[in-house]
Amino acid sequence: MSEILYWQALNQALDAELAADDAVFTLGEDVGLYGGTYRVSEGLMAKYGEWRVRDTPISENSFTGLGVGAAMLGLRPVVEIMTINFALFAMDSIVNMAAKIPFMSGGQFPMPLTIRMPGGIARQLGAQHSQRLESMFLSVPGLRIAVPSTPQDAYWQLRQAIRSDDPVIVLEHELLYFSKGEMDTHASAPPLHQALIRRRGRDLTCISYSRMLPLALEAAQALHAEGIEMEVIDLRSLSPIDWSTCVESVQRTHRCLIVEEDCRFGGVGGELAAELQERCFYSLDAPIQRVAGLDIPTPFNAKLEAASIPRQGDILQAARAVLNLVPGESS
């Protein structure tokens, strides 16, 4: 057991899979000589050579398409898209090819393709570089989406994604790369798409993922001081979603709060709320509440940027509201 940074966990996972299987290679902008925008591929080009750690031109659709073709031929490519915002250039390769070829070929062509991409609001990168686009990929059948929130999960889930025969998007948050956490490379890994209860509670269930998870845990600790025990679930996966873990928790606490960084309208939280309302209707003692980002392009101004996404105070207010402790609704 050791404490390491999130990016270091990803680096170790990629290193381990490159060492274990000659069919694994990684490609993308600056992954080789530079070592990756967030250092994830640092040192790997020197260790495995430029054929397996390949720098590419600035052409996301082209090198993602190359990854699709390589996967069809039996290799296990790990495509790094520098930021989820640039994935918009690769949508044809991701949506029309990676997600559909296994189905349209009757299973003759598996798709052992991993696509890594950071997303979320970082620090004043502007509206075009601060998007949360997971809901776009969520609606594409055939894609799997992992959202690790801790170094341990970053290590586990990247290795599991690379070994999978399905196309897996590993969605990393830009502000998590330099977060620290414990990692045990010898621990048994939970299934790639299993949700985990990060904190037990009896009064309400909070469901979150990615960078909002640490905020939810901080809010749960603050509520504990008020005598409120909030259970916190880390989804870890957006496609598929582990409904059984979520349903069991909500049926036990009878209240549900969903926290996400993405915009409220059309976001992941809306799908979660709709499905849980159907499955848990007779167990709920209050309407499901959502805390989400504002439905605006992300401002560049630091104070406005911070105000456009959930903060701990927003989660506390929404939790008290779902418990009918204060009037009002979640943000």
How is residue 89 written in tokens? 């250039």
Residues in the chain: 331
Contact 61, 115 (CB under 8 A): no
Separation of alpha carbons 209 and 186, rounded Å: 24
How is residue 164 written in tokens? 């999978």
Give one DSSP letter per residue of 170-228, joined into a string: EEEETTTTT-EEEE-TTSPPPPTT--EEEE--SSEEEEE-TTHHHHHHHHHHHHHTTT-
Terminal C-alpha separation, the chain: 39
Contact 68, 103 (CB under 8 A): no
* Residues near 188 by beta carbon (within 8 Å), at least 6 away in sequence: none
Considering only CA atoms, which of 27, 41, 143 is closest in space to residue 78?
27
- Residue of 60, 134, 231, 261 with catalytic role: 60
* Residues near 325 by beta carbon (within 8 Å), at least 6 away in sequence: none
Separation of alpha carbons 264 and 137, rounded Å: 16
Known catalytic residue at 193: no
Report the sign of the C-alpha dihedral through residues 70, 74, 78, 83, in that order: positive
For residue 90, the surrounding DSSP H or E stretch is: none
Contact 63, 92 (CB under 8 A): no
Known catalytic residue at 260: no
- Residue of 3, 29, 80, 129 with catalytic role: 129
Considering only CA atoms, which of 53, 211, 239 is closest in space to residue 136?
239
| Neighbour tally for 138: CB within 10 Å | 18
Catalytic residue set = 60, 129
